[in-house]
């Protein structure tokens, strides 16, 4: 199968060139001017369009048992949503509970994706307990191609790890060359604050924010980086939401800790008032952890992405429906399943509110939404760049398209969209995963099962 993408403007994190791209057997074979199309080649005219490397979402939840329920998507729904939005690789959090067998959980998560995904995928292996047996299984999982762990400092009594476990995860990760991704919020502070607020009769969604203010997240980052420093472990803070926690990470970076910072599209586009407005059905849609923050954080996060002190942009896609699941917390905000879906719309929103508003340039757009993730998590240069020899994960981007987002037409399996009615500028006109066309002009045209597991080598020594 051969494809020639002609006349586009190729935008990588570090280059910009008008050239053709020849794809053969799922790989980019040639980049150059006026390339010949071998017989039988599908020719795509990308004149007036940008050509980006496929976008990578470093933090999604698809199969997620959480807070007494399960996130709504499956690979059949989520991977369609991903590719229609230009995301060609997902890194899912494999999140076993503390009593679940580690290897079996890894196999369970992987089994949900294998044969069902339209895009490529890999996992951060969640560590929610640490003992001799789980350590032995983690070693096998790393040998199987998983080079990142995930830990939660939040969620006391559920997914959260103790300091003893944290220390041992850091030790093992350092030994294996694995990077530790972490949800940073002090679990005890959250638990105490939740109890205080509930005792005071403060049960509505807006109180969620008050149970986990910025200092709770900053403490989590400081805590993580102290344990990282003691072991020399490389760490990555997921869903970093505010100036306080970014600053805590930057201080650690100055002290020599190897730390990378992720923020989310939701924190750039939504502020805390979304979880305050309207009745329960409206406000509960916007409950996630860490919570949506005060608007003043947004320009700081944009600045961090443009300047490069924030590395990646993710979604933390975690869909729980309004009809049933969010209702679990109608009388108690601590029971609202945490999460805001955004897998399908991350790239469009980043473009519309970032590039089109002059907050970031196109190279940072590609870097934050694709290249940095590939580099940090051992996928580069197979993924994250348009280069000879790289996988042909390609997004032909139509900058002239104008649209409006609605849950009525999205591919995500969820009954609301946090961007309902928002206008978008630009969208993927064509998306390929290893040379196969999977999306065209907002429609899924690919095959479920085309997506492959991506084996990754440890890279952080």
Give me the residues that bind Zn ion (CB under 5 A), please.
183, 316
Cα distance between residue 268 and residue 350, in whole Å: 9
CA contacts within 13 A on the Cβ side of 164: 3
Query: What is the smallest separation between the CB atom of 344 and ligand URP, expressed in angstroms?
Result: 17
Nearer to ligand URP, 60 or 386 (CB): 60
The interface partner of residue 410, options being Zn ion, ligand URP, none and the CB cut-off 5 to 8 Å by kind, is: none
Q: Which two tokens stand for residue 373?
A: 């993730």
Closer of 339 and 428 to ligand URP (Cβ): 339
338's contact among ligand URP, Zn ion, none, with CB below 5 to 8 A by partner kind, is ligand URP
Kindly tell me which of 316 and 367 has the beta carbon lying closer to Zn ion: 316
Q: How far is the CB of 32 from ligand URP (least distance, A)?
A: 43
* Residue 148, H or E segment: strand 148-152
Q: Using an 8 Å Cβ cutoff, are 328 and 337 in contact?
A: yes
Count of CB atoms within 10 A of residue 7's CB? Answer: 16
Q: Is the peptide bond before 290 cis (omega within 30 degrees of 0)?
A: yes
Applying CB under 6 A, which residues contact ligand URP?
61, 183, 239, 288-289, 316, 318, 338-339
Supply the minimum distance, in Å, between the C-beta of residue 67 and ligand URP: 9
Give the C-alpha separation, 70 to 416, whole Å: 16
Choose between 46 and 190: whose C-beta lies nearer to Zn ion. Answer: 190
Residue number with CB closer to ligand URP (46 or 288): 288
Q: Which residues contact 131 (CB under 8 A, 6 or more apart)?
A: none
Q: Which does 375 bind (CB under 5 to 8 A by kind): ligand URP, Zn ion, none?
A: none
Handedness of CA 328, 332, 333, 338 (dihedral sign): negative
Residue 339 site contact among Zn ion, ligand URP, none (CB < 5 to 8 Å, cut-off depends on kind) = ligand URP
Phi-psi region at 355: left, alpha or beta (left = phi > 0; alpha = psi -120 to 50)? alpha
Residue nearest to Zn ion (CB): 183
In the chain the first and final C-alpha atoms are separated, in Å, by 39
Token representation of residue 61: 């939840």
Minimum gap (Å) between residue 157 Cβ and ligand URP:
15
- Give start and end residues of each alpha helix (H) in 352-429: 362-366, 372-376
Residue 233 interacting entry, from Zn ion, ligand URP, none, C-beta within 5 to 8 Å by type: none
Smallest separation, CB 152 to Zn ion (Å): 6
Q: With respect to Zn ion, which residue has the nearer C-beta, 1 or 191?
A: 191
Which spans in 330-425 are helix H? 346-350, 362-366, 372-376
Identify whether the C-beta of residue 53 lies closer than 8 Å to the C-beta of residue 386.
Answer: yes
241 binds, among ligand URP, Zn ion, none (CB under 5 to 8 A by kind): none
Binding at 28: pick from Zn ion, ligand URP, none (beta carbon under 5-8 Å per type): none
- Quick check: 190 and 211 in contact, CB under 8 A? yes
Angle of helix 214-231 relative to helix 187-199, nearest 10 degrees, comes to 160
Q: In angstroms, what is the minimal distance from the CB of 100 to ligand URP?
A: 16
> Minimum CB separation from Zn ion for residue 239, in Å?
6
Closer of 151 and 454 to Zn ion (Cβ): 151
Which two tokens mark 199? 């005792």
Residue 288 binding: pick among Zn ion, ligand URP, none (C-beta 5-8 Å cut-off by kind): ligand URP
The partner residues of 152 in beta bridges, in order of sequence, read 183
| Cβ distance to Zn ion smaller for residue 244 or 316 | 316
Q: How many CB atoms neighbour CB 235 within 10 A? A: 28
CB of 286 to ligand URP, least distance (A): 10
Q: Which is nearer to ligand URP, 316 or 398 (CB)?
A: 316
> CB atoms < 10 A from the CB of 329, how many?
22
Residue 148 binds which entry of Zn ion, ligand URP, none, CB below 5-8 Å type-dependent: none
Of all residues in this chain, which one has the CB nearest to ligand URP in the complex?
338
At its nearest, how many Å lie between Zn ion and the CB of residue 340? 11
């Amino acid at each position: 199968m051969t494809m020639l993408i002609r006349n586009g403007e190729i935008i990588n994190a570090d280059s910009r060139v008008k050239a053709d791209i020849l794809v053969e057997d799922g790989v980019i074979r040639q980049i150059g001017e006026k390339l010949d199309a071998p017989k039988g080649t599908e020719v795509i005219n990308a004149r007036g369009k940008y050509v980006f490397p496929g976008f990578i979402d470093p933090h999604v939840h698809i199969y997620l048992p959480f807070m007494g329920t399960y996130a709504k998507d499956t690979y059949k729904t989520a991977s369609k949503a991903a590719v229609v939005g230009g995301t060609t690789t997902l890194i899912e959090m494999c999140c076993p509970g503390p009593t679940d067998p580690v290897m079996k959980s890894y196999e369970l998560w992987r089994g949900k994706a294998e044969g069902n995904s339209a895009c490529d995928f890999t996992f951060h292996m969640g560590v929610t307990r640490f003992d001799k047996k789980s350590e032995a299984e983690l070693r096998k999982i790393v040998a199987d191609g998983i080079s990142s762990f995930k830990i939660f400092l939040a969620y006391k009594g559920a997914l959260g790890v103790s300091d003893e476990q944290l220390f041992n995860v850091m030790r093992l990760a350092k030994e294996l060359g694995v990077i530790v991704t972490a949800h940073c919020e002090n679990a005890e502070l959250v638990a105490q604050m939740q109890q205080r607020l509930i005792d005071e009769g403060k049960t509505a969604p807006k109180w969620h924010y008050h149970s986990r203010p910025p200092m709770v997240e900053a403490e989590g980052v400081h805590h993580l980086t102290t344990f990282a420093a003691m072991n020399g472990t490389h760490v990555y803070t997921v869903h970093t939401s505010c100036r306080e926690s970014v600053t805590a990470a930057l201080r650690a970076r100055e002290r020599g800790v190897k730390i990378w910072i992720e923020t989310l599209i939701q924190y750039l586009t939504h502020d805390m008032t979304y979880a305050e407005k309207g009745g329960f059905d409206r406000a509960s849609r916007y409950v996630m952890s860490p919570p949506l923050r005060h608007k003043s954080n947004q320009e700081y996060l944009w600045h961090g992405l443009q300047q490069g002190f924030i590395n990646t942009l993710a979604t933390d896609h975690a869909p729980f429906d309004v009809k049933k699941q969010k209702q679990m917390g109608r009388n108690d905000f601590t029971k609202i399943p945490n999460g805001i879906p955004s897998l399908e719309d991350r790239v469009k929103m980043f473009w519309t509110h970032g590039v089109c508003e002059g907050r970031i340039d196109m190279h940072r757009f590609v870097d934050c939404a694709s290249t940095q993730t590939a580099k940090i998590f051992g996928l580069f240069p197979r993924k994250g760049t348009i280069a000879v020899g790289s996988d042909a994960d390609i997004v032909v981007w139509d900058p002239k398209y104008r649209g409006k987002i609605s849950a009525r037409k999205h591919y995500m399996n969820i009954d609301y969209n946090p961007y309902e009615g928002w206008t978008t500028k630009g969208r993927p006109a064509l998306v390929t995963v290893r040379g196969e066309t999977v999306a065209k002009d907002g429609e899924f045209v690919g095959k479920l099962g085309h997506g492959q597991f991506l084996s990754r080598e440890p890279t952080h020594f």
